Structures are given as structure tokens and as C-alpha cells.
Structure 1
Amino acid sequence: MKFPAKTTRKIAIFRALQLGDLLCSVPAFRALRHAYPDAEITLLGLPWAATFCERFSHYIDRFIHFPGYTGLPEQPIDIAGWKRFEIQMRAEPFDLILQMQGNGSIVNDMLETLHAGPVAGFHSAGNHRKGDLFLEYPTGISEIRRHLLMLENLGIPGNGTDLEFPVRESEMQHLRKSTSFLLDSDYVCVHPGSRGSWRQWPPSYFACIADLCAGKGYRVVVTGTKEEAAITSQVVALMEYPALDLTGKTGLGEIAQLIKESRLLVSNCTGVSHIAAATRTPSIVISMDGEPERWGPLNTTLHKTIDWLRDPDMDKVLDCLEVFLPVAKFTVYP
């Protein structure tokens, strides 16, 4: 390895992005922990990711809030927060800083100006670095494999491509108490929301698929965050069959357990699609971002990704439904 385990005691990962982005990085986090079992690994991320680090504490030891930076769209820059972040990073230099944010534009310069330790990761036209710590940013491949390639460039071997999503016992118990009527029943999860309306399949299409699932005898559970209530309520209103609307009523762990116990997930290409990949729940994923090869689940037998921008064919969705969903053994609806 280019950074030997004996002398690499503190590692920082810069990935200040959302849930799906971080879940796709879990195989890389796992490989990193396997290669550096005794190192302290710190995630530099958005505020919400503090809870992600708690959930994945077997891979991530610490969390440092990244306060934003000029040119990065995920959050507005907090000038005072940036000053504190700068001071903190320089006060505790790292043996390795992994740039897992993107192709290196803006971010490589930003991390190097911190003078907090050697930076390694991706670079691309306009921000190339000398030496062998940077890899040309690959396109047209899975986000999962992209970061494993980056680690391989540093001599860090991969440790599988499987995703993970640990659920706490307390979360499972909370779900049991709040949805006890779902126990031992066949149900399908429909998740019509996503971050950004441009990535959302129309509510009428979700309602159509949900009704088909209900017609096969499955209970339909609609999930989403409270911020997604407008779109989930549209789906429920457009359905002919009744649905259980759990929008805003479950935390992330409860949603993960709900997906794990469901017969099928139907969603946009968003964070929950990666949870279904982690729980090995069959899924139909509608890709509206034009990058199905990047964000679609790797197991194409268990998960079907429909590239709706290139091929908006409802028959393909219906064909997937027939493959994944036989008529329910115990019919819920008359």
C-alpha cells in the first residue's frame, strides 16, 4: 500500500453529500477499515451525516461537520464555520485525506489549501495532479466500483461490493409497535419522492403501479419524509385501492426495516433504492437522472432499473412487476 498501515494512523474521508452517495461508498469504507483496522477514520460531511457515522461506527470513528465552500452546491458556505473548520483541520493533521467528493474540480484545491495532510483521490481535466496519488475520474461505471478503483490505485484491496444498512434493535421494536398490523402480511413499499423534482416519476404512474400491486392482493405502503408529503399524498389520492401512508411517520432505520420485510420496493433512483440493495429486497427503480449505470443497483437480477429518460416504456415496468410479484397467497383486498 502507498500508505502503510503501521504509519497511517489518522485518515479523513471527504464526502459531503447525501444518503445515496454515502451508501454507495460503504464498500469503500469497508475496504478501508479492513486495510487499516487500527486507524482512526473520520468523515468530513454534511450535518445530517453525523447520524450516518453513528450507524456505521464499525467503519467510521469520528465525524467533522464540513461547513460548505464556494462553488459546492450541497449547502451554502458558513464563513465563520469555515474558519473554525480550517483551524481544526490544521490543528490535527491527518496521515491521509481521501477525496471522495467527485472529479476533483474545486475540491482538490480546497483540501490541499488546508495543509492538513496528503490528499489522494480523483482528478480530471483542468485539475490534474502530479504523482500517483490521483486517478483519472472514471465515467460510465457504478458509483460503488468508482471508489473501489480509487482505493486500488493506492494499493488498498477491495472487500466486496455489497451494500449495508444496519438497523438498531430499538428501531425494529418501534416499527413493530407502530405497524403491528403489517406483521405476517404481504406488502409492497412505494416511495415516490426524491431530492429534486426533476428526479421524480409522475405520481399518476406510481399510483397505477401501486393499484396493480393491490390488485394482486398486496397491501400498499407509501413511504417518504415529511418534506415529501405533497407527492406522497398525490399518489394516495390517485389510487383506487386504499394505501397505508407512512409519510413522515418513520425514521430512516424504520424505513429500512420496512423495506427489508416487504416483498418489493418501487421507487425513484434515490436513497431508498440503495437501502433495498443493502437489504436484498427486490426493487423496481425508475431512473430519471440519465445515469442508471452509475446509480442503479449492481444486482440486476434482484433489482430492475428502468432508464425512463431513454426508454419511457410502461410495459417494461409492468413486465418487471410480473417477474417480482406473483399473486399474494393471502389476499388483502376483496
Structure 2
Amino acid sequence: MTALDALPPSDGRPELVVLRAIKLGDLLVAVPALRALRRAFPDHRISLATTAWLAPVVALVPAVDVHLAQQGFDHPIGVPAGVTDVAVNLHGAGPESEDLVAALGARRTIHHGEGGPSWEDGPVNERERWVRLLRAYDIPADADDVAIDRPAEPPVVDGAAVVHVGAFHGARHWPVDRFAEVVRGLRERGHDVVLTGGAADVARAAAVADAAGLPPEAVLAGVLDLQPFAAVVAAARVVVTVDTGAAHLASAYGIPSVVLFGPAPPEAWGPPASGPHVVLTDASVRRGDVFSEEPDPAILAVHPVDVLAAVDGLGVVPAGSGAGASPDAAGARAAASVDQ
């Protein structure tokens, strides 16, 4: 799927336009709402206005028919006024997003505020926030309905332990030496380990590999586009990551994960409690500055022994051993692990 600047010619279906223009994790927490909209409006063409570089992952969201490139709020959504049947604001409740949605001139608008539910402040689970919005308009939705399609191309690595070392801001960075200790522990348990991250994380991943004794070919940071990255996560035995899009991909594919939280509250951004996921953080020391370049004390309170114990608790075993993680045991632990 290609991100388009403007709505393509009508295919005869009524138009439903959704605004959600942020990053990978933000897109993935909106998947339950998008899937609910697909069920509620099966005869509509659904267009998602979101960030252009997310196109490879938008293509994996079966609820979306058209991807409209929306780079922030400095330009209107690429849909002529008056052609939209239903407009949905899954972005926020501020004047910037509300004005963009209002400019569509839709016959029906689903949003917070006037005519809809009030915006909830505080640490509200983001998946739940958007399904609650739909429920207020009598649209059934399930916050745990997080699945997206797997990429058609096979993964470059199958059955690995994926350790994602990157994050957009330093507040979510976990020390290189701690990542290296986790990698060594995973390898001692028999796992093949690969390191992932974005283009800005190449040096960081190389440092982790060097400290852990991993070969250069195990460093996939800066190598994979979004779909190949999603394919590696979908085929992983376990994912160890800070609070990033990698964690949300693991949730979308039901892959056991250990997620380290720093400035952001896991109550808002954490994985589904029903899945094979463990969250590690210490809320009592959280500073909460998500844009800081210094690691948040909440993530520094997590140590390699905690991560490896969480992997063991999930029941994850190496590929080729003939067994997998125990979902029942994992799910039971996940909800209780938020403040470890």
C-alpha cells in the first residue's frame, strides 16, 4: 500500500476517513478501533490519514483500504470537503485534530467532545481509550483485538530472540552493558539472538553486539524496512524491548515479550494483560519526561537479572527444542508484573 496525497477516485462505496497521524506504536494501539470500524461499516471504503513512512505497516492492517499521507497538522487531510460519509478522530481532542476532521464536512463525525464522550485525562490505556470512543457511538469494540496481518515475504531470521535496542528519545534508552548481559543470558539459554533498531540505533546495536560477543550479521538495526522488521518480530520466540513500536508489534502477533518502561506509564501504553507479555519498570522513581535525553530512573531500576527472570517465567524456549511458551502461565504473570 502506498501513502497517497489525495483520496483516489470513488469506487462506489461511501467514504469513511480516520485521522491517526503519529508513529508506529500510536498506529498499532488504534488497531482495535480500526477493526471495529471495519465490522461496523463493512460497505464503506476506509481511508486512514497517518504518517507516510508507516505505509508498509498500514498495508498489514486489514481494516484499511486507503492510506492518506498526513504529516502532522500543517496541511488538510487529502479528501475534498463534503464527500466523506463518516469521519473519525482517533488522534486526540485538541483543536488541531478537531479542525482537520471538521474540515472534511462529514455527514457523521465520531470524536470526543461535543456530541461524543468527554476526553479522559490521566493514564488511560490507549487501546481502551479508542474503543470506548466507539462504544459511546454504539459501535462494539474490543481493546484486545490487536492482530494485524503477517508480511507475505518470509522473515530474514526465523525463531530468534529479538532484542530491540532503540528508542526515539534517550529517556527510554537502557544501558548498552545491560542489553549485552541479557544477550549473553539468552544465548546461554540456547537462543539465537538478533539486535534490531532504526537507522539511528546502528552504533548502539553494534556496541551491544561487541560487548555480548555477537557476530556482525546478528545486528539488524538499520538494515530492515518496516515489513521485514515486522516479519522478524512475527517469527520471533521472544521480544525484549523498551516501550517502542517493537513492543506493539509483539502484541499484534501474540509473541511473548518483555517490555521495559521508563517515562511513559505502562497503564496507558503497556501490552494487553491477556497476552504472553511482562512489563518491567519502577513507577515509584518515574520522572516522566518522555522527551529527555537522559534515561528515566524507572527504566534504570530494571536490571538484566529481572529481564532474564521474566523470559524464564514466560516459559520461552529456543527454536528447535520442540516446545514453546506457555500462554496460560504467561498471561497469569503479565498483569501482576507492571511495577516490577
TM-score by length of 1: 0.78
The AA in structure 1 aligned to 2:93 is N
The AA in structure 2 aligned to 1:136 is W
Contact 1:264 1:281 in 2 (8 A): yes
1:199 deviates by: 1.8
CA distance in 2, matches of 1:25, 1:253: 18
1:234 aligns with 2:239: no
1:103 deviates by: 3.5
1:245 aligns with 2:245: no
Contact 2:33 2:134 in 1 (8 A): yes
Contact 2:162 2:238 in 1 (8 A): yes
1:107 deviates by: 2.1
1:306 aligns with 2:283: no
1:110 deviates by: 4.1
Residues 172-187 of structure 1 aligned to structure 2 (within 5 Å): 172=154, 175=155, 178-179=156-157, 187=160
Identify if the C-alpha distance between structure 1 residues 14 and 316 changes in structure 2 by more than 3 Å, giving closer, same or farther.
same
Contact 1:296 1:305 in 2 (8 A): yes
Contact 1:214 1:241 in 2 (8 A): no
1:119-168 deviation digits (Å, cap 9, x = unpaired): 43224xxxxx3xx3243235323211110000001111115623123123
CA distance in 1, matches of 2:254, 2:269: 16
Identify if the C-alpha distance between structure 1 residues 207 and 112 changes in structure 2 by more than 3 Å, giving closer, same or farther.
same
1:302 deviates by: 1.1
Aligned to 2:19: 14
Percent identity, aligned pairs only, is 26
Residues 1-334 of structure 1 aligned to structure 2 (within 5 Å): 9-56=14-61, 58-69=62-73, 77=74, 82=75, 85=76, 88-113=78-103, 115-116=105-106, 118-123=108-113, 129=114, 132-159=115-142, 161-169=144-152, 171-172=153-154, 175=155, 178-179=156-157, 187-240=160-213, 242=215, 244-299=218-273, 302-308=276-282, 310=285, 312-314=301-303, 315-324=305-314, 328=318
CA distance in 2, matches of 1:264, 1:42: 33
The AA in structure 1 aligned to 2:257 is S
CA distance in 2, matches of 1:326, 1:166: 23
Contact 2:281 2:302 in 1 (8 A): no
CA distance in 1, matches of 2:103, 2:317: 60
CA distance in 2, matches of 1:149, 1:105: 21
Structure 1 gaps, min length 5: 1-7, 70-76, 124-128
Contact 1:189 1:222 in 2 (8 A): yes
The number of residue pairs the alignment matches comes to 292
Identify if the C-alpha distance between structure 1 residues 215 and 33 changes in structure 2 by more than 3 Å, giving closer, same or farther.
same
Contact 1:99 1:121 in 2 (8 A): yes
The AA in structure 2 aligned to 1:41 is I
SS at match of 2:79: helix
Identify if the C-alpha distance between structure 1 residues 22 and 326 changes in structure 2 by more than 3 Å, giving closer, same or farther.
closer
Identify if the C-alpha distance between structure 1 residues 280 and 329 changes in structure 2 by more than 3 Å, giving closer, same or farther.
closer
CA distance in 1, matches of 2:316, 2:276: 15
1:44 deviates by: 1.4
1:118 deviates by: 4.5
Is the deviation greater in 17-26 or in 305-314? 305-314
Q: Which protein is bigger by CA-based radius of gyration?
A: 1
